[in-house]
Amino acid sequence: MSEIERILDQMDRAFSGDAWHGPPLKTVLEGLTAEDASNHAIADVHSIWELVLHITAWKIIVRHELSGEKVDVTPEIDWPPVWETSEVAWKRAVENLDESHKRLREAASELREDQLDEKPAARTDNSRYVMLHGVVQHDLYHAGQIVILKKAIRISKQVVHGPGRGSHG
């Protein structure tokens, strides 16, 4: 197995596959409603929806930077705002996350082994190798946050509705 194939395997495990640590990012997002995804159950902490947009943004940023494209990462690009909180908009956000992962995976799969040590992005001194592993780490870091937020949402619903009501997993 080539190094690129190993990296792709790790990307897939963290995002949607058989992750060693526990559930991958996509599994963590399953069954969430727009209401729960937009909930700020912990004060001064990003919502699940905001995290999904942020993860998507960085998959796009890294894909562009892998090819040497300069990306100006503004606060709005880093943390895109949630403009609409409908179920349709939430479904679209998750679909965009899936699509950004597929496109990043395609870009990574087209790399040659000798390109992994190159530093293609003007924004950072990281090599492609570090950037791709960083995407894996980023997915897992935020998946852990989402798990905690889901628990906080469930607890807040129990406080409002009482035990056994309003908790969905």
Which of 30, 12, 7 has the alpha carbon at shortest distance from 101?
12
Q: Which band of pLDDT confidence, cut at 50, 70 and 90, is reported for residue 163?
A: low
pTM of the model: 0.92
Q: Give CA–CA dist 163/149, Å, rounded.
A: 18
Query: How does pLDDT run across 131-149, given as a tens digit for each residue?
Result: 999 999 999 999 999 999 9
In this structure, is residue 169 part of a structural domain?
A: no
Higher pLDDT, 167 or 63: 63
In this structure, is residue 91 part of a structural domain?
A: yes
In this structure, is residue 77 part of a structural domain?
A: yes
In this structure, is residue 24 part of a structural domain?
A: yes
Angle CA 127–131–136, to nearest 5? 150
Residues listed for the chain? 169
In this structure, is residue 37 part of a structural domain?
A: yes
Query: How does pLDDT run across 66-96, given as a tens digit for each residue?
Result: 999 999 999 999 999 999 999 999 999 999 9
- Res 162: pLDDT: 66
Whichever domain contains 130, its CATH number is 1.20.120.450
- Which domain, by its residues, includes 104? 3-161
Query: How does pLDDT run across 36-72, given as a tens digit for each residue?
Result: 999 999 999 999 999 999 999 999 999 999 999 999 9
For the chain, what is the domain count? 1
Torsion of CA 62, 66, 70, 75, to 10 degrees: 10
In this structure, is residue 168 part of a structural domain?
A: no
Give burial (CB, 10 Å; 0-12/13-18/19+) of 21: exposed
Query: How does pLDDT run across 111-128, given as a tens digit for each residue?
Result: 999 999 999 977 888 999
In this structure, is residue 156 part of a structural domain?
A: yes
In this structure, is residue 7 part of a structural domain?
A: yes
Whether 22 shows a pLDDT value over 60: the answer reads yes
Q: Which band of pLDDT confidence, cut at 50, 70 and 90, is reported for residue 167?
A: very low
